[in-house]
Chain A
Amino acid sequence: EAGVTQSPTHLIKTRGQQATLRCSPISGHTSVYWYQQALGLGLQFLLWYDEGEERNRGNFPPRFSGRQFPNYSSELNVNALELEDSALYLCASSPDYNYGYTFGSGTRLTVV
């Protein structure tokens, strides 16, 4: 069974640009979660999508947004990139919010 896949693995952008990160959940999982992990810091919850709808979002500005497609894959968009957006962005999926999450290997975003 394929795990959670994320693309791209690495992304380098210039301040002010937009970044798009993609995630495909494990087959059969309808929930997708996005987390940000800045270097040396803990995981910060960004967004939760389930059945195509945004269920919850963390304490991040509106320039962090996303969507979930009918096939349950998801996209995270970060507009007007700032240097402090440089981090590892992790996507996870689960069959239900009471279950543990399975993470993808992440997208490392560097803003220069």
Chain B
Amino acid sequence: RKEVEQDPGPFNVPEGATVAFNCTYSNSASQSFFWYRQDCRKEPKLLMSVYSSGNEDGRFTAQLNRASQYISLLIRDSKLSDSATYLCVVNMYSGGGADGLTFGKGTHLIIQP
């Protein structure tokens, strides 16, 4: 089983629509969760951390379900500038302790005018 799994997409969504992505992770000991955004041929940039209680940042809402080991990202009122690849990121642990952040392969989002 892959450590962090995402639907690669692409998701083609009309401007103004709401879109949601899910991500599943394999390590139940994971403590830290993030969503990153990566534009074509650029470095990933932190979009938001994901907290157990869920959190919102403007049009973006992140949720964590520890029991089912999945994370979600909701984008409301999507803009053309939201077109990017969204990476689900989880802090992994093994017998030796923290292994650092593991990145999913990303979900490609295309917002259409």
Contact = CB atoms under 8 A, between A and B. Distances in A.
Given A42-B105, A42-B106, A43-B103, A97 B43 contact: no
Which of B46, B49, B101, B105 has the most chain A CB atoms inside 10 A of its CB? B101
Interface stretch (A61-69, A71-79, A98-106): A98-106
A2 interface: no
Interface residues of A, number: 21
Contacts of A88: 41
A17 interface: no
B98 interface: yes
B87 interface: yes
A35 B101 CA distance: 11
Main secondary structure of the interface of B (DSSP, over half): strand
Given A33-B100, A48-B100, A101 B46 contact: yes
A33 to B, nearest CB: 6
Contact of B105 (A41, A48, A56, A106): A41
A106 B45 CA distance: 12
B102 to A, nearest CB: 7
Given A41-B105, A42-B106, A43-B87, A97 B100 contact: yes
Interface of B: 31-32, 34, 36, 41-46, 49, 87, 89, 91, 96, 98-106
